Amino acid sequence: MKFLLSAFEPFGNSTINASMAAIRILESTIADAGYVTQMVLLPVVHREAGRILISHIEEFSPDVVICFGEAGGRAQISLEKVAVNLCDFRIADNLGNKLMDVPIREDGPVAYFATLPLRLIEQGLSARGIPVEVSLTAGGFLCNEVFYTLMDYLSITGSRAVAGFVHLPILPEAAAEKRVNLPSMSASVTSTAIRAILDIVQQSIDQI
C-alpha cells in the first residue's frame, strides 16, 4: 500500500509548521515499518500548493493521500470531514495573496467529504491517549484549498485513492515564539499520531 503524505511550510510570522516538524520525524523513523511512502512539503501559496500535490499524485499513484497542516488555537488533532469550495483567507499567503469569497473551482461542487475512515481513526487515537476530534471545518485558508483541490481531482479522475486532511495543534516552541497562550502539542506526539493513523487506515483497507 502506497501512502502520499503532505505538510506545509511555515506561514505568517512563524518559523516552523507543526505538520512539517511531524512529517520530518516520521520520515526519519518509518523506513523499517514496511510502508511505501512519499512525503511532500507544500508552499503556503494559492494554487501552487494544490498543483504540487496533484503532480506528486500523478507521479506516485498512491492508494492513500493524507494532507497535514496546523491550526492555531486547536487543542486536539482535527480529522477534517468536509472540504468546501471557498477561499476566504484571514491572512495573506506567503506570496501576499489574500482572497475573500472566491471559489476554488468556479463550477465545482460546493463541498466534498473525506474518504478516510475518520471514526475509526478517532477511536484509535483516543485509545492511544491522543486528543482527537472529527472536525466539520478546515477553515478558509490553504489547508481547505488543498483539501478541496485533492478531493476534486480524485473525483474528476475517478481515482479510488482514500484521502483526507488532518489539522495538528501548533508546536509548544511556536506558541513560545509567538508569545501567546495557545494550546499546543509536541512534534513527537503528532508524529506518533500520524504513524497510528497510517496503521489504522491500512488495517481498515485490508479488511475491505
How far is the C-alpha of 150 from the C-alpha of 83, rounded, in Å?
9
Q: Is 80 a catalytic residue?
A: yes
Q: Could you tell me which residues come within 8 angstroms of residue 55 by beta carbon, excluding any fewer than 6 positions away?
A: none
Q: Is 67 a catalytic residue?
A: no
User: Which of 11-25, 121-135, 165-179 is the most confident on average?
Assistant: 121-135
Tell me the pLDDT band of 32, cut-offs 50, 70 and 90.
low
Residue with cell 479522475: 157
Q: Which of 65-69, 138-142, 179-183, 184-188 has the lowest mean pLDDT?
A: 179-183
Which of 12-16, 42-46, 78-82, 174-178 shows the lowest mean pLDDT across its residues? 174-178
Q: Tell whether the model's pLDDT for residue 208 goes beyond 70.
A: no
Integer Cα distance of 36 and 26 in angstroms:
13
Catalytic residue among 46, 67, 80, 145: 80
Domains of the chain: 2-206 (3.40.630.20)
Give the pLDDT confidence score for residue 178 in this predicted structure: 74
Residue 120 gets which letter from DSSP? H
CA–centroid distance for 132 within its chain: 14
State residue 28's pLDDT score: 81
Q: Which residues neighbour 186 within 8 Å (Cβ) at sequence distance 6 or greater?
A: 171, 172
- Is 87 a residue of the active site? no
* Average per-residue pLDDT for the chain: 95
Give the mean model confidence (pLDDT) for residues 35-39: 91
Q: What is the pTM of this model?
A: 0.96
SS3 173: helix
Q: Which of 87, 122, 143, 145 is catalytic?
A: 143
Please report where in the chains the cell 500523478 appears, as a residue: 58
Give, as one character, the DSSP assignment of residue 128. T
pLDDT digits (tens, 9 = 90+) for 80-128: 999 999 999 999 999 999 999 999 999 999 999 999 999 999 999 999 9
